[in-house]
Amino acid sequence: MCKRQLVFLFCVLLGFCKAQRIMSFNVYPYNNAVTAKFTIKAGSQCTGFQLQHGTDSLNMITVYDFPGVCGDFNANTDYSATHNSPLLNQINYYRIQLQIPFENSSVRAIQVGQVTQSNMYAFPNPMTDGSASTLKFRLVNVNNLKVAGRLFTQGGLPLREVVLITKGEIAEVDISDLREGLYVLWLTDGNQVYYAKFVIAR
C-alpha cells in the first residue's frame, strides 16, 4: 500500500481529513445554567454528540450525551444542549464533540454567576411607548457600577453586546432597533449576574 493510500485511510478512520462539520458553536447563560447551541453542516452525519465541560480548556468531562444519529445530508441542522450545574462565579469552558468520526469544536468560555431573579428590573415593562428609544433598568443595591453582557431574544439568539455604567442604580439600554417581543438582558460585573426579561409591545 502506497503512502498516499495510508494517509487517506488514516484520515477516514479518525475523521481528521473531513471538512469542519460543526458550525456556529456558542454558549449562553440562562438563569444558573448554560445552554450550548451549534449547527452541523449539511452533507454529513455522526453517531451522536457530547457537550463537554471543564474548569480549563484542556481537561473536560461529558455533561450531556446525545446518542442518536445527528446531522443531515440535505440541510444544516441546529442542536442545543443544556448544562444545569455549571460552576458559579467562575469561568466555565465548553466544547462539542461529534462521535464517529470524531470532531471537536473550538472551546468557548463563559462566566456563570449566581442569578438572583429580583436583582434587576426593567421599567416600564412591558414597554408600550412606540416612540421610546431607551428602556430603564434598576440594578438593586448598586451605585455607579460598570456591567457588561449581552441582549438576547426569547429563543436565546444573541443580538448584541451591552456595556453600561449605572447612574446610581439606574441604567438605560437602547431599544430603538427592537421589534415587538420578549427579550432577555444578561449583565455581570465579574462577580454578580444581573438578569431581567422585558417585553416590547409598541
Q: How far is CA 151 from CA 114, 148, 163, 196, in A?
A: 18, 10, 10, 10
Q: What is the pLDDT of residue 188?
A: 86
Question: In this predicted model, what pLDDT tens digit does every residue of 8-62 receive, in sequence order?
Answer: 344 444 444 456 899 989 888 776 788 899 999 999 889 999 999 999 889 999 9
Phi-psi region of 95 (alpha: psi -120 to 50; beta: other; left: phi over 0): beta
Question: In this predicted model, what pLDDT tens digit does every residue of 105-156 receive, in sequence order?
Answer: 999 988 776 655 568 999 999 999 989 999 999 999 899 999 998 898 876 7
DSSP character at residue 201: -
CATH says 120-200 is which class?
Answer: mainly beta
Common-topology check for domains 3-112 and 120-200 = yes
What is the domain partition of the chain in residue ranges? Answer: 3-112, 120-200
**pTM for the whole structure:** 0.56
In the numeric block, the cell 415593562 is attached to: 125
Residue 193: which of 32, 55, 60, 76 has the closest Cα?
A: 32
The CATH-assigned architecture of domain 3-112 is Sandwich (2.60)
Cell matching residue 193: 449576574
